[in-house]
Amino acid sequence: MKDDEVFDKLKLSLRLDSDEDDNLLRLYIDTAKGFIYGAIGRDEDYKSFFEIEEVKAMLTTAVIAQATGYYNARTSITSIPMSPVNLAVNSIIGQIRYRYDSFMEEQANEN
């Protein structure tokens, strides 16, 4: 997952043309990555799992969704309560966890 590509996709999804929030968006991307990798688990011996095209696409989507949540919740001056749980991100994390567990099991069976 290339940071510049994720950044560009995040700005596009948020419909942001100006660059005044760029530093904040990059921070949110880094934070979202940390959150998602922490939720999935990351064994350095199995980096190849995160290079699978399908997995990379899901990770990118999850990072964009999570970073969008951070951006949209940066100021809460509304009477409408915001959900602290991003359901899209949780769903994607669940799918990636399942694939990661299957991948790890396959790797263990090969050894």
Residue 86 binned pLDDT confidence (cut-offs 50, 70, 90): confident
Q: State the average pLDDT for the chain.
A: 87
- Answering whether pTM is above 0.75, one says yes
Name the token pair of 53.
Answer: 């095209």
Residue 17 has pLDDT above 80, yes or no: yes
Containing domain of residue 33, as a range? Answer: 3-110
Cβ neighbors of 91 (< 8 A, separation 6 or more) are none
Q: How far is CA 71 from the centre of its chain?
A: 13
User: How many domains would you assign to the chain?
Assistant: 1
**Alpha helical stretches, state H, the chain:** 3-14, 22-40, 53-72, 87-110
- The count of C-alpha atoms lying within 13 angstroms of the C-alpha of 43, restricted to the half-sphere facing its C-beta, is 12
